Amino acid sequence: MKVFRNRLAPAVSLIAALVVMMAAMSSISAYAVPDSDTGSAAEAATGSEVDVDSENDGSVADGEGGAGKYGKAPELVASSAILVNAKTGDVLFEKSAGAKRWPASCTKILTALLAIENLDPNEMVEITGAAVNIEGSSIGLIAGEQIRADDLIYGALLESGNDAAAALAVGVDGTLEKFAERMNSRVAELGLSHTNFVNPHGLDDPKHYTTARDLAVIACEAMKNARFRKYVSTYQYTMSETNLQPKRYFHNSNRLLYDTLTHINVYGDSVPAKYPDITGIKTGFTDKAGNCIVVGMKRDDKEFIAVVLKSQGMASYSDAVSMLEYGMHNFDEVTYHKKGYEMFERPVEGSELKSMKLVLAEDLIATVNKNKEADYSVDGEVSAASTSGALSAPIKAGDVCGIAWVKSSDGKTVAQVDLVAAETAAALVDETDSHTDDGGVGTASLILTIGVVAVLAAVLVVVISVVRSAAARRRRRANRMYGAKLKDSVDPREVRRIKNINKPRRGRY
């Protein structure tokens, strides 16, 4: 029995060590801070929502008074239009901006952007049958030509070549259909729900449409790309010869970049079409779409984009420039606070950290009417606070806890930024309370540990009982066999030796 106990001792020690280890791990997990599931605050509303099929005049005329003849919102020929801040997307003026329209060749804004993002400028694109003999404007592509992607982008944006746009689509995705899927995927990424594209060039199709508001978002995204900006601000470009054709010369269709002979009407003044501070970007026309144009203007530190859909002839240029001048004379981009600015400080419950600073996740910038700047106010709210106004731990640095905004005097939100926690507030665990800040994880771990210890103790008792019972049976058997009571000190091996001696031997004597 002594030998058996010696053999059992290491196993018992191992079990005890495992119990101690599990208890320690459970204690550690009870103090761990779980991941926060706090969501982002709602996005800002930058203008009244217009039904996608609406034809009502949704003009914004904040600038009246204080800016001379430009103080009054412009009167437009276009059926739909919008003016936005190119950097922030703030809406400064709109007219039926949510109505569905055909975008014509303004479609090529997105086509070119996707080509820039997916093709190297010097990558050679082979022209296939899908990119030749397409109706409308063309750069005269021939099947089998090998052309640099860079040349095709110039051809699509300057000459508005439908064949160049198709060639880029095939170069990126192999077919026009797959490229259209890519276009719509990008549209979805931008959060646009009133736009659908079925081709890369913009020829009329009942399923090919957008809105002035959506097209402005696409244009703002494209103008963030330095290569795109270079293309659309270029007046003329010489395309190098190819394996099948000589040099070709492209000229930008946007008259605001070059035309000093034709005049346009801007707030009653007849001025040359070539206009200062214009940065591009794209014109378009079909019989159904009418004259369309997207125009960028940068003056000093302000940059605005105007979108005009379904206008008439040169009035499309007048509409665009009039909106841009209205914006430049009436609106300023104001940085109210920089990223990291402390907006609020709130108490924290359930943590050693007693208070939390809530700071701006980004710069709080708004495009405001500079003639009414005093009419704007900055405020915010803490969405993660309890009814007592305190925040509840755990909180991780960077968790969204509220929003800050700039509002005009009429209650319209013109800018909005998330408020985030400046540091981490770990949750405390109250060992005397069955409820913990981690949702009961500490209590559950303690119960589990106690249960494991109890089971292991029960197993140990059973093992010892079995061993003792076996030893008792051996002693009783020895007593019956030899007529003497064996003490606990008798080695069972000695009993077996005596038993073997008394056995009859087989074989010779």
Q: What is the DSSP string of 301-332?
A: TEEEEEEEEEE-TTHHHHHHHHHHHHHHHHEE
Residue 219 and residue 146 share a domain: yes
Cβ atoms of 346 and 422 within 8 Å: the answer is no
Residue 34, helix vs strand vs coil: coil
Question: What is the predicted pLDDT for the residue at 6?
Answer: 47
In the listed set 428, 460, 487, which residue is the last one of a domain according to the structure? 428
- End-to-end Cα spacing for the chain: 38
DSSP 8-state symbol, 272:
E
Q: What pLDDT digit, counting tens, does each position of 33-87 carry?
A: 333 333 322 223 333 333 444 444 445 544 455 578 898 999 999 999 999 999 9
261 alpha carbon, distance to own chain's centre: 46
In the listed set 400, 428, 456, which residue is the last one of a domain according to the structure? 428
* Position 327 pLDDT exceeds 90: yes
Catalytic residue among 79, 96, 105, 445: 105
Report, as an integer, the average pLDDT of 107-120.
Answer: 98
Smallest CA-to-CA distance from 202 within 133, 139, 288, 129 is with: 288
Catalytic residue among 108, 282, 302, 310: 108
**C-alpha–C-alpha distance, residues 141 and 326, integer Å:** 42
Cβ atoms of 98 and 211 within 8 Å: the answer is yes
Instruction: Count the neighbouring beta carbons within 10 Å of the beta carbon of residue 426.
Output: 17
Residue 413 and residue 300 share a domain: no
Instruction: Show the beta-strand stretches assigned E in 113-176.
Output: 124-126, 146-148
Residue 148 and residue 208 share a domain: yes
Q: What pLDDT digit, counting tens, does each position of 361-378 carry?
A: 999 999 998 888 778 999
Q: Is 160 a catalytic residue?
A: yes
The CA-based angle 167-171-175, given to 5 degrees, is 80
Residue 405 and residue 324 share a domain: no
Q: Which of 9-23, 170-184, 192-206 shows the lowest mean pLDDT across its residues?
A: 9-23
Residue with the two structure tokens 């926060």: 36
Residue 246 and residue 99 share a domain: yes
DSSP 8-state symbol, 232:
H
Confidence of residue 493 (pLDDT cuts 50, 70, 90): low
Question: What is the predicted pLDDT for the residue at 14?
Answer: 44
Question: What is the predicted pLDDT for the residue at 123?
Answer: 97
Find the domain containing 413 and state its range: 33-52+338-428
**C-alpha–C-alpha distance, residues 353 and 374, integer Å:** 38
Residue 195: inside a domain: yes
Residue 450 and residue 369 share a domain: no
Smallest CA-to-CA distance from 127 within 114, 138, 118, 117 is with: 138
Strand partners, 415: 406
Residue 107: inside a domain: yes
Q: What pLDDT digit, counting tens, does each position of 204-237 carry?
A: 999 999 999 999 999 999 999 999 999 999 999 9
What are residue 2's phi and psi, to 5 degrees? -60, -40
Residue 401 and residue 368 share a domain: yes
Confidence of residue 5 (pLDDT cuts 50, 70, 90): very low
Residue 232 and residue 163 share a domain: yes
Q: Is 270 a catalytic residue?
A: no
Question: What is the predicted pLDDT for the residue at 66?
Answer: 57
* Position 454 pLDDT exceeds 90: no
- Which pair of structure tokens corresponds to residue 270? 């007849």
Residue 435: inside a domain: no
Instruction: Count the neighbouring beta carbons within 10 Å of the beta carbon of residue 370.
Output: 15
Cis amide bond preceding 276, omega within 30: no
* Position 146 pLDDT exceeds 90: yes
Q: Which of 74-83, 237-246, 266-275, 383-392 shows the lowest mean pLDDT across its residues?
A: 383-392
CATH code, domain with 78: 3.40.710.10
Instruction: Give the length of the chain.
Output: 509
501 alpha carbon, distance to own chain's centre: 89
Residue 327: inside a domain: yes
CATH code, domain with 363: 2.60.410.10
Who's near 439: CB < 8 A, 6+ residues apart? Answer: 34
Residue 98 and residue 13 share a domain: no
Strand partners, 333: 367
Q: Is 311 a catalytic residue?
A: no
Counting the structural domains of the chain, the total is 3
Report, as an integer, the average pLDDT of 294-317.
Answer: 97
For residue 65, is it left (φ>0), alpha (ψ between -120 and 50) or beta?
Answer: left
Q: Which of 249-253, 344-348, 431-435 shows the lowest mean pLDDT across its residues?
A: 431-435
Q: Which of 13-17, 430-434, 457-461 shows the lowest mean pLDDT across its residues?
A: 13-17
Residue 237 and residue 197 share a domain: yes
For residue 268, is it left (φ>0), alpha (ψ between -120 and 50) or beta?
Answer: left
Residue 436: inside a domain: no
Residue 124: inside a domain: yes
- Which pair of structure tokens corresponds to residue 336? 């109210």
Please indicate whether residue 324 or residue 471 has the higher confidence score (pLDDT): 324
The CA-based angle 470-471-472, given to 5 degrees, is 90
What are residue 321's phi and psi, to 5 degrees? -70, -35
Question: What is the predicted pLDDT for the residue at 428?
Answer: 87
Share of the chain above pLDDT 90, in %: 62
Q: Which of 59-68, 84-93, 450-459, 472-481 shows the lowest mean pLDDT across its residues?
A: 59-68
Who's near 433: CB < 8 A, 6+ residues apart? Answer: none
Residue 61: inside a domain: no
Please indicate whether residue 443 or residue 350 has the higher confidence score (pLDDT): 350
In the listed set 283, 315, 333, which residue is the last one of a domain according to the structure? 333
Residue with the two structure tokens 């640099």: 148
* Position 128 pLDDT exceeds 90: yes
DSSP 8-state symbol, 225:
S
Residue 144 and residue 243 share a domain: yes
Q: For helices 441-482 and 2-30, give the axis angle rounded to 10 degrees.
A: 170
Question: What is the predicted pLDDT for the residue at 504?
Answer: 58
Residue 508: inside a domain: no
**DSSP element (H, E) containing 248:** strand 248-251
**C-alpha–C-alpha distance, residues 310 and 96, integer Å:** 11
Residue 400 and residue 304 share a domain: no
Catalytic residue among 79, 137, 160, 311: 160
Q: Give the range with max mean pLDDT: 1-15, 203-217, 333-347.
A: 203-217
Residue 458, helix vs strand vs coil: helix
**DSSP element (H, E) containing 469:** helix 441-482
